[in-house]
Amino acid sequence: MNLKPIIYAAVRVVLYAIPVAASALIIKSDAGIVIDGLKFGESSQTEWMQELFLLLTSLIFILAGFRSKSHKAISYLFGGGAFVALIRELDVYFDQIYHGAWFPFAMLVMVVALFMVYRQKKQIWGNLEEFFTTPAFGTFIAGFLSVFVFSRLFGTKKVWLALFDVDTLEPVQRWVKNAAEEGSELFGYALLFIAAVEFFVYVSRKFKK
């Protein structure tokens, strides 16, 4: 009996449990912290962890492109996309310039990323087709849907007004809403980070062959 695949899978589970557990512990910590009369606001540890996951996701995808030149297109596409999402998460700081200042910065990064992808246009479809067969794909889709679909719908104000059976959310009720929305978003970003690591490992192992 070959135990190597089982051991490899077990190690992956343990390693990937670390960012997931860290996310849960940060949410638990933020539950007891009020900043400017708000829990789980823009200055919370949860928000900072989201931004850290996005930064690492972007860097790891881009590094995968440096590791394997035949995967540059998808690395620039996903790495650039994660960086655009990071800029959006940092909107409160860009708003100190003027309200909505994050948008032109995000568009600039997007244009640069798409230009880099265009330069590798012969790779893109092959890269995507290959990515769909990797272990990273399922995790990536799960993270993407958690952040950009589930957390957005779950955090809709109407859901929480109906849940609490009120017309206006009181501060404590808003904290619960924020915790649920930001928590599910953080978990999604953790999954995207794990997907980036999976992809980097995949291209690294392929590079050695």
Q: Write out pLDDT tens, residues 92-103.
A: 888 888 888 899
Res 208: pLDDT? 59
pLDDT of 24 > 60? The answer is yes
Query: Which among 155, 156, 146, 148 is positioned nearest to 187, based on CA atoms?
Result: 146
Instruction: Give the mean pLDDT of the chain.
Output: 91
Q: Write out pLDDT tens, residues 35-44.
A: 877 888 888 8
Return contacts of 87-94, CB within 8 angstroms, 24+ apart.
Answer: 89/47, 89/50, 89/51, 89/54, 90/51, 92/42
Return contacts of 27-35, CB within 8 angstroms, 24+ apart.
Answer: 27/179, 27/182, 27/183, 27/186, 30/179, 31/179
Mean pLDDT of 59-79: 94
Backbone angles phi, psi at 35, to 5 degrees: -120, 120
CA distances in angstroms from 120 to 72, 74, 196, listed in the order given: 7, 9, 20
Nearest-angstrom CA–CA distance, 159 and 172: 16
Res 135: pLDDT? 87
pLDDT-above-90 percentage for the chain? 64
For the chain, give every domain's residue range. Answer: 4-208
Nearest-angstrom CA–CA distance, 136 and 196: 7
Q: Write out pLDDT tens, residues 135-192.
A: 899 999 999 999 999 999 998 889 999 988 888 888 888 988 989 999 999 999 999 9
Q: Write out pLDDT tens, residues 83-136.
A: 999 999 998 888 888 888 899 999 999 999 999 999 998 999 999 999 999 989
